[in-house]
């Protein structure tokens, strides 16, 4: 379980002449759920996009599943097939049905018999808690939570070894977001993939993540297990956890 | 590579049963049962299906790796063997794979008989659906036209609410920026008509009638028609795509919830800009086409420009010019209304924006030609 599936080594990113990320280093171990927290504009999404190779970096190294991001297009593409990404808005192809969306990676990247592909689509849909009746729906017919589930099913289509989630519970009500957290935990426990997730939701962080890093002004302020972070004395960490957990049941019970 | 073979050595009579047919068959699964390395199950199923009622054990102790695809394949194999009347079971699976298998196995198979969304519709259904769709489209066009008239009335009552900046901006886009291409195309068309005229009329010694033909044709029909078609392709399509993508991004709904009428804010300035720009472009286009005629006459038809223009003065009257110009604002109204109505009909996917844009251009060109025909009948009836 202690094999690093993601290694980020001192990366710096500048966009439009402004430094967004400075010397960010972190690593995610196999089977681990790693959270990135931080205020708006702290560079979380840029970090994710840089790791995915969508935003160019000024310096530093990134290795995903042992492959360096610079190790040639062919090799990186091969690694990309073992990664799953859930974008904040889902990123489902609007002109395809949910079923076709899930089958895109299966169809394009492997040669599977149609029967198995259909069975796997149903399996992936059931895994994320969607029914067979949702399979033929267009993404525009789904609710926000269902879009996230369908997009997760697509991200999991090829059994990735690491899954990147960009604010998976944003825009969901507390019940739906709790259910989504449970779903990610259950899937991780049964399928054993690693998760790199960006979140704003402290509750979700406490429930799901094994370890987390706090990002502020483009730098990693703290990186530790979630309970250790919650009791950290670093000012930024304290203010982040304190401010966000002011209304949590634990604090309320003190009164 | 994942494999599954029938272990004939392990085939043995069931204890306490002398019947040789009811023996236990062992299928040995080995290797990596993962995506891209899945074993071919057809063969082994064909073998096992030969005599129903057997007890089949799938020995999975030698599996080195398994993912959800492998688990699904194993579960489907067991399910299909059981469906074929065998007592099938999976044995010896390593602990970590067993958990995954239980997880996948717990997911109930979807009933394959469940009908897909009805894509395969009969001819009658399709025809009736398209007729209904056509009716809806006409209604939506009339609806947009009505709402535009209402918005115009609102603006007339309180002129302060009219968005002059937007109108000027749209006039610049649909009018001023279109001038070079419209002038060029109409000049070319005018030249071509004149060239064809000189080429064919010369055989009858009727060279000078080319001027009459070019003058009347350009002023009454070609000028306005070419310009309207170009504006439909250039500005109408842009309007549809703009409004369509705004609709998809909830921008139209945002306007509505702010208590603003999207048609008044977005469509009215665009349609009015077209109504102002199209007659001006038509005038410009007609002049350019006549210039093309003059140019061809001079270079190709041995007709001096002065002669051409003198002849033109005799050949055409103000009526011909009026006929062309009267049509222009109506065509602009049709193009603008169709473009805005189609844009607001976009929904769901980005593909629909493309579909509505195509449909907007096709419909407005069709409508412009139909309108031109109606005007021809009308002008003939009133003797213009």
A119 close to B (CB below 8 A):
yes
3-state DSSP assignment of residue B208:
coil
Nearest to B236 by CA among B140, B148, B366, B351: B366
Single pTM value for the model: 0.69
Nearest CA in chain B to A191: B100
**Does A191 contact B349 at a Cβ distance shorter than 8 Å?**
no
A83-86 β-sheet, strand order: A83-86, A162-166, A194-198, A33-37, A211-216, A219-225
A81 close to B (CB below 8 A):
no
Torsion angles phi and psi, residue A18, rounded to 5: -105, 135
Which residue do the tokens 């957290």 mark?
A181
- Point out which residues pair with B150 in neighbouring strands: none
- pLDDT top residue among B44 and B150: B150
Which residue do the tokens 């007339």 mark?
B156
Interface test with B, best of A98, A135, A190, A193 (most B CBs within 10 A): A190
CB B100 within 8 A of CB B71: yes
Torsion angles phi and psi, residue B252, rounded to 5: -65, -45
- Point out which residues pair with B334 in neighbouring strands: none
A254 pLDDT band (50/70/90 cuts)? Answer: very low
Paired sense of beta strands A211-216 and A194-198, if any: unpaired
Q: Tens digit of pLDDT for each residue in A141-170? A: 898 888 988 999 999 998 899 999 998 888
Question: How many residue pairs from chains A and B have C-beta atoms closer than 8 A?
Answer: 63
Q: Where are the beta strands (DSSP E) in chain B?
A: 3-12, 24-33, 55-66, 87-91
Q: How far is B56 from chain A (nearest CA, A)?
A: 22
Give the one of A112, A119, A132 whose C-beta lies nearest to B114's C-beta.
Answer: A132
Correct CATH for B3-105 of 3.30.750.24, 2.30.30.90, 3.40.50.720, 1.10.3720.10: 3.30.750.24
- Among A106-115, A116-125, B148-157, B221-230, the range scoring the smallest mean pLDDT is A106-115
Contacts of A132 in chain B (CB under 8 A): 110-111, 114
Is the confidence at residue B169, as pLDDT, over 60?
A: yes
Q: How far is A136 from chain B (nearest CA, A)?
A: 7
Can you give the length of chain A in residues? 255
Dihedral of the CA atoms B275, B278, B280, B286 (nearest 10)? Answer: -150
CB A25 within 8 A of CB A197: no
Rg (CA), chain B: 37
CB B337 within 8 A of CB B141: yes
**Does A139 contact B349 at a Cβ distance shorter than 8 Å?**
yes
Nearest to B289 by CA among B201, B191, B195: B191
Q: Tens digit of pLDDT for each residue in B261-287? A: 889 989 999 999 999 999 999 999 999
**Does B104 contact A123 at a Cβ distance shorter than 8 Å?**
yes
Nearest to B24 by CA among B80, B89, B71: B89
Rg (CA), chain A: 19
């Amino acid at each position: 379980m202690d094999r690093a599936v993601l290694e980020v080594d001192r990366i710096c990113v500048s966009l439009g002449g402004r430094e967004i990320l400075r010397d960010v280093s972190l690593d995610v171990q196999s089977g681990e759920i790693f959270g990135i927290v931080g205020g708006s504009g702290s560079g979380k999404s840029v970090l994710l996009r840089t790791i995915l190779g969508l935003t160019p970096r000024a310096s530093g190294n990134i290795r995903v599943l042992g492959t360096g991001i610079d190790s040639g297009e062919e090799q990186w593409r091969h690694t990309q097939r073992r990664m799953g990404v859930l974008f904040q808005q889902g990123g489902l192809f609007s002109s395809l049905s949910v079923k076709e969306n899930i089958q895109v990676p299966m169809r394009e990247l492997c040669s599977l018999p149609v029967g198995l592909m259909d069975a796997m689509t149903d399996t992936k849909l059931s895994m994320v808690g969607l029914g067979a009746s949702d399979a033929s729906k267009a993404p525009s017919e789904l609710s926000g939570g269902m879009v996230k589930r369908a997009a997760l099913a697509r991200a999991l289509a090829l059994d990735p070894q690491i899954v990147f989630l960009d604010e998976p519970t944003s825009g969901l009500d507390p019940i739906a977001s709790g259910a989504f957290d449970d779903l990610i935990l259950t899937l991780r426990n049964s399928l054993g993939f690693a998760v790199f997730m960006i979140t704003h939701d402290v509750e979700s962080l406490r429930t799901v993540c094994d370890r987390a890093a706090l990002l502020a002004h483009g730098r990693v302020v703290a990186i530790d297990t979630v309970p250790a972070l919650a009791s950290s004395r670093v000012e930024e960490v304290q203010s982040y956890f304190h401010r966000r957990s002011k209304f949590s049941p634990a604090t309320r019970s003190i009164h | 590579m994942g494999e599954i073979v029938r272990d004939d050595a392990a085939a043995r009579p069931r204890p306490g049963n002398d019947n040789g047919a009811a023996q236990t068959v062992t299928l040995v699964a080995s290797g990596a049962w993962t995506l891209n390395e899945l074993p071919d199950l057809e063969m082994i199923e064909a073998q096992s299906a030969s005599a129903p009622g057997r007890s089949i054990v799938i020995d999975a102790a030698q599996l080195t790796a398994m993912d959800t695809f492998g688990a699904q394949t194993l579960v489907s194999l067991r399910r299909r063997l059981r469906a074929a009347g065998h007592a099938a079971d999976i044995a010896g699976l390593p602990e970590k794979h067993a958990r995954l298998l239980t997880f996948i196995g717990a997911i109930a198979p979807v009933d394959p008989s469940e009908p897909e969304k009805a894509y395969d519709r009969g001819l009658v259904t399709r025809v009736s659906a398209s007729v209904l769709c056509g009716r809806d489209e006409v209604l939506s066009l009339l609806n947009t036209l009505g709402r535009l008239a209402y918005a115009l009335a609102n603006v007339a009552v309180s002129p302060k609410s009219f968005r002059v900046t937007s109108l000027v901006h749209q006039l610049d886009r649909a009018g001023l920026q279109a001038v070079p291409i419209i002038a060029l195309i109409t000049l070319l068309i005018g030249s071509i008509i004149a060239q064809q005229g000189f080429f064919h009329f010369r055989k009858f010694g009727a060279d000078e009638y080319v001027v009459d033909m070019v003058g009347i044709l350009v002023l009454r029909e070609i000028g306005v028609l070419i310009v309207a078609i170009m504006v439909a392709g250039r500005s109408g399509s842009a309007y549809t795509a703009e409004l369509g993508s705004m609709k998809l991004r909830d921008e139209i709904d945002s306007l509505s919830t702010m208590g603003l009428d999207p048609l008044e804010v977005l469509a009215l300035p665009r349609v009015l800009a077209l109504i102002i720009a199209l007659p001006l472009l038509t005038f410009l286009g007609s002049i350019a086409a006549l210039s093309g005629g003059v140019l061809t006459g001079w270079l190709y038809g041995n007709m001096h420009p002065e002669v051409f223009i003198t002849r033109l003065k005799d050949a055409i009257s103000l009526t011909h010019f009026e006929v062309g110009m009267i049509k222009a604002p109506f065509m602009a109204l049709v193009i603008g209304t169709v473009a805005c109505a189609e844009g607001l009909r976009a929904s769901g996917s980005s593909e629909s924006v493309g579909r509505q844009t195509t449909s907007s251009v096709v419909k407005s060109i069709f409508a412009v030609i139909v309108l031109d025909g109606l005007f021809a009948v009308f002008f003939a009836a009133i003797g213009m």
